[in-house]
Amino acid sequence: MIAPMSLRSAWLYLALTVPVAAQDPAWRLPERGAAEYRRKATAHSVVADSQAAVAKLEAKDAVPAGFLPRLVPAPWLCQGEFTPDQRAIGDEPRDLRDVLRAVACDLRLSTTVRSRYLRLLPFGDLVLTGRVEAPDAEGRQSFTLEVASADPEQRPGEAKAALQRFVRPLCRRSARGTVTVTRTWDAGAGVVRLFRAEMTLVFEEDKGRFRKLVITDEWDLAGVHENQDTAFREDVAKAIADGVNWLKRELKDLGRPHMKDQEDGARSYGSGRIALALLTLLHADVPAADPIVAAAFDELRGRVLVDTYSLGVALMAMAARHAPPNEAEMLRSGALSAPKPRVLAAADKELAAQWLESLMKNLDTRVDAGYRLRFNYTAGPRFDNSVTQYGLLGLFAAQLCQLEVPSTRWRAAATHLMEVQDAANDRELKLSLTRYRDLRANSDSDNGRTRAVGGLVVPARGFAYQLPDRPAYGSMTTAGTGGLVIARAGLLQAGLAKADVMPKINAAIDAGFAWLAAEFHVRSNPGFVDRADDSWYYYLYGLERTCELAGVARIQGRDWYYEGALQLLAQQGRSGAFRTEHERGLLLDATCFAVLFLKRASLGVTTGG
């Protein structure tokens, strides 16, 4: 069993020759607030035919793909990211820039230092060693640490077999170099006011070919903010409005290539993207009568929807089309105890019923759906937890539209999800979830304490893409946990609150949230490091959806919405669209997921709580 205190800091160990004293400096950010910085970041590389030669060359070329994510994380430091003693960042760095940020903000570095940062692909772990002299009277401090890559260590909750099979093959480069930091600590304000950090790494890229990477990051304090202050709310409102305007311009031309379905009729992803854009606009308070929305719905009516993704999102859009105003906000505030049943016009209800009928055919044909419900893209002998998530969201939307969904479907879906949830591998923590109802009741006191789920220690169990024979990661854990919340809600609405399976479902939901708590961060897709740069927007939208479905405002005291929104706001371009994680990504998908997150569009499924 891993002690709860070690979960957020297991990635980093420090051997210091001087013990920590009570008067040692600590960050003093507002509770759940943040420090905003102005940033200058650069990254260059150079190659040569020997290690000695490349070390002498100036790095001027671009860094090839695979060493740094395309999206640069936002220059913010959130109070929730810090270790309990508020002396260092406790979240795992997920790229080389994050290592620079972590080192520059670490106030524990004193005298002899040995720090280890896990899973910096493609190098494995990075071990930093050296000496750090005390800052001068004005808080200025400069130091250089040696860097060497090392074989990746086992993480909490990870089986040794998974480390050997899935992680070690990704750590292909052996590197050495330095990290140099100059920083100014403002003891009066309790912040690092500015820092400049540089990492130089040299490694053999191919036989006889050596590459040097030089990455610099300069941060200059712009201000310190209270949690969700006025400026934040204004920035979010503008981002939503700009995203909406971009989506409306995009929907003016429904003949764009990415809005067309496959010519062979096997998939209807183009129609699914139209439905996703409609869902986003409707949740962002664009009226159903808006000419662009109306025209897009008319186009959707004429399409033949085939795959689970498209059918599920189309049903969600139909439910949003007939939703009462401000429904999500009313659920969070307690003005509504559950989502309102939709009253559809006859034509809409007939269309939604057709979509539901098609959706219910798209199942894994290897299992009896009466006992184990899992979705495929279309009917066939496979499943995955991502598409199952959209199948369940579609069923929930259909039920909101007052279409019949047998209660056996919810039990069968829960059975599947519980079977494919990953093992905890001895990782557990005392799960603390603050729900919206807790905030309304002022049970979350000023000192930041949150209400723990039953006061129990909970195993941390995530989800992989399909079976639990692969490592879990964030976007799939939100999919599986959110699916369990929906299945539980379906059983409750069917009057089956005392069904024998309910305690197991509740335990599985808690275990899913415990995994999200243990792995929590919003700067990449957490969990399995090979997925860190993929599906980041999908993960954040999944985090929003899972927390809102369950009425969760904070995880382990951390404001998931505030921290996630700060990262999203930094990725919006001047056009209103959000930049994609990869060149091949679609602006439409990224923008829809971002706006849905910022709008907190998902509905609490049972109690508004």
76-95 confidence digits (pLDDT tens): 999 999 999 999 999 999 89
Task: Report the candidate in 239, 214, 296 with the shortest Cα–Cα distance to residue 564.
Answer: 239
For 268-309, the pLDDT digits (tens) are 999 999 999 999 999 999 999 999 999 999 999 999 999 999
pLDDT at site 456: 83
Whether 605 contacts 486, CB under 8 Å = yes
509 phi, psi to nearest 5 deg:
-65, -45
pLDDT bracket for residue 382 (50, 70, 90):
very high
Q: Which one-letter DSSP state was computed for residue 133?
A: P
Burial 397-423 (b: 16+ CB within 10 A, else e): bbbbbebebeeebbbbbbbbbbebbbe
- Within 10 angstroms of residue 386's Cβ, the number of other Cβ atoms is 20
pTM over 0.85: yes
509 vs 462: CA distance, rounded Å: 10
Residue 33, pLDDT > 50, answer yes
Residues 6+ apart with CB under 8 A from 217: 39, 40, 41, 97, 100, 101, 104, 195, 196, 197, 198
Lookup: tokens for 559: 């404001």
What is the spatial distance between Cα 68 and Cα 122, in angstroms, rounded to a whole number?
Answer: 10
Check pLDDT > 60 for residue 430: yes
Q: Flag whether pLDDT at 607 surpasses 70.
A: no
pLDDT at residue 478 is higher than 80: yes
The rounded mean pLDDT for the chain is 92
CATH code at 230-599: 1.50.10
Nearest to 557 by CA among 421, 452, 458: 452
Domain map of the chain by residue range?
4-225, 230-599
Bond into 459 cis (ω within 30):
no
Percent of the chain exceeding pLDDT 70 equals 93
